[in-house]
Structure 1
Amino acid sequence: MSNPRTTVVVVTWRGREHVTACLDALARQRPHRTLVLDNASDDGTAGLVAAHPSRPEVLRLPVNRGYAGGLAAALPGITTEYVAWLNDDATPEDGWLAALEDALDATPDAAAASATLLLADGSTQSVGVRLTADGHGADLVTAGREVFGFCGGAALLRREALVRAGGVPAAFFCYYEDTDTAWRLRLAGHRVLSVGEARVHHRHGASTEPGSRPFHRWNERNRLLTLLRCAPARTALRELAGFAAITALLPVRRTRPDAANFHVPLRLRVLLEVLLRLPITAIQRWRIGRRATVDRRVVWREWAGR
């Protein structure tokens, strides 16, 4: 393959049941480099990847660093113009990569393009990410050409813009690495596109269990860390204080939701992890602010609650 423009990074962990379908689909895309980041799988995934006829490159980590950690570990070895993020349980339709590359080629001020993720029943899981009024990153199922952020399960980014914006937040482990990255790209003055014709079939939750305690821990913690890193200070502190206040009041409420993210021990763990990270998060916030060309308040006013 001569001078591919894109490196597709497939982060896998115990992906034996689905990684072959992902690699089969990638073999039918426009020429590119495929890099499988194996998060210390112990279920035979490594053998399947090594035996695949497309012969993808493999970077195997000694421990599981999660989706964010895997992407961050892969980034220094990537020199192509574009880098694609792809879940190992995602199967792109033919033309997926071409549609994403063409969209970014046609829009020089866009730094990321989000694909359309479809669930097993054919319904739409995501065409991008919106920013809620309380700072959550939430999947959009209908959107115009431009969106606040991209869904990290299947997206294409300009490598140079990603690196200049600070790369991937490896410490997030998984969840919100896409929303945090979109925040930083927008602070740097870039746009994010939604490319409807770039379609991917996604076995949602094949590697992690939505609704589980780890799922809610990572979601709640990383939402707060994203806001502390990227959002206006008033907004970030308001959401952190609100999370702490709800946690304090839950034990005295007569009724409370049964969801794991309303369990007091989990919320206390989230608060502890956020508080322990405050010094490094403050440094990261300062660095992000130094690189920014757009005020945090401008991004918030334009996109929050849309």
Structure 2
Amino acid sequence: MTSTQASTTVVVVTWRGAAHVTACLDALAAQSRPHRTLVVDNASGDGTAALLAAHPSRPRVLRLRRNTGYAGAMATALEQVETPLMAWLNDDAAPDPGWLAELEDTLGEQPLAAAVTSRLELADGTTQSTGVRLTADGHGADLTEPADEVFGFCGGAALLRTDAVRAVGGVPAGFFCYYEDTDTAWRLRLAGWHVVAAGRARVRHRHGASTEPGSRRFHRWNERNRLLMLLRCAPAGVAVRELARFAALTAVLPLRRTGGPRPANFDPRLRARVLAEVAARLPATLRARRRVTRIAALGRGAIWEAWARP
């Protein structure tokens, strides 16, 4: 169900999503709440464009000339959204018919919240995420138990206040993939907003359909973006500590004997590449940190103390 008077634009980012994007659009077409649908196609070359053009829901499609990743596509979409609310939805996710209504109603009841996260379930019915927690070493980790308020939202399926996201600097397009959601949650919290969960907003998720969790690319983006997020958003002592820990472990790993192949995230060459990319981006990251400071209503230390847990 769509409407020009809708409160929400649902943004679906796809890349080579021919195998699953139709199921996502079918699920959106079955929503009980009017909405607009914007699909950002990251230069797919697998027939996705034809499927989008033929879908009976007639979604608006923004086709990019190159693959900008999930973060880049969401940043581009944010410039196009004209509704007060913006939903993030993976192309391999299929929400229940009442999904959007649950999210909108939850956000409507929580005027201090800028984001509400969904309950993502895997194909076998197990819970993937009910929100994101902040770990003691600065990772964003999925929660799997019900919670009313969470540190951050899972970008696979969430609803956000459009103006709030813009006011805190938008989506970090340079992250390409991973941690763009937790970085955004950090900045929303620093600005004084809350993030809540809607446990009845259920989404079935084919996790990893576009990117392979555990792959070298996954660990490169995951480790790099965690460090960049901390440098942008976390207390300075935390950011420096975690960067130093990452560098120190990278330096000693070649001296350690292993009985077989190392996991990708313990490959010294991959970790060295991560450090090189963080170093190359450091000037821009520190400028971003200063911008975050200017919009912050709360101290970084207060957020860390309230949410960072083992």
What TM-score do the two structures reach when normalised by structure 2?
Answer: 0.98
Could you list the per-position Cα deviations for residues 74-112 of structure 1 after superposition, in whole angstroms to 9, with x for gaps in the alignment?
111111010000000000001000000000000000000
C-alpha distance in 2 between matches for 1:141 and 1:194 = 12
Of 24, 34, 37, 1:34 maps to 37
The answer to whether 1:16 aligns with 2:26 is no
Of 167, 171, 187, 1:168 maps to 171
SS in 1 for 2:44: coil
Counterpart for residue 150 of structure 1: 153
Identity among equivalent positions (%) equals 68
C-alpha distance in 1 between matches for 2:154 and 2:77 = 18
C-alpha distance in 2 between matches for 1:262 and 1:156 = 35
2:305 maps to a residue whose letter is R
Counterpart for residue 93 of structure 2: 90
C-alpha distance in 1 between matches for 2:240 and 2:10 = 37
Report 1:225-304 matches (<5 A): 225-255=228-258, 258-304=262-308
Cα drift, residue 2 of structure 1: 3.5
C-alpha distance in 2 between matches for 1:229 and 1:259 = 28
2:51 maps to a residue whose letter is L
1:278 maps to a residue whose letter is L
Cα drift, residue 19 of structure 1: 0.2
RMSD: 0.9
1:82 maps to a residue whose letter is L
Report 1:69-218 matches (<5 A): 69-218=72-221
What TM-score do the two structures reach when normalised by structure 1?
Answer: 0.99
C-alpha distance in 2 between matches for 1:255 and 1:77 = 50
SS in 2 for 1:277: helix
SS in 1 for 2:142: strand
- Contact 2:130-2:145 within 8 A present in 1 as well: yes
Unaligned runs of 5+ in 2: none
C-alpha distance in 1 between matches for 2:80 and 2:280 = 31
The alignment covers a number of residue pairs equal to 306
C-alpha distance in 1 between matches for 2:268 and 2:275 = 10
Cα drift, residue 59 of structure 1: 0.2
C-alpha distance in 1 between matches for 2:4 and 2:169 = 29
Could you list the per-position Cα deviations for residues 218-260 of structure 1 after superposition, in whole angstroms to 9, with x for gaps in the alignment?
0000000000000000000000000000000001112388210
SS in 1 for 2:62: strand
SS in 1 for 2:198: strand
2:280 maps to a residue whose letter is L
Cα drift, residue 288 of structure 1: 0.2
C-alpha distance in 1 between matches for 2:210 and 2:204 = 15
- Contact 2:130-2:147 within 8 A present in 1 as well: no
C-alpha distance in 1 between matches for 2:149 and 2:241 = 28
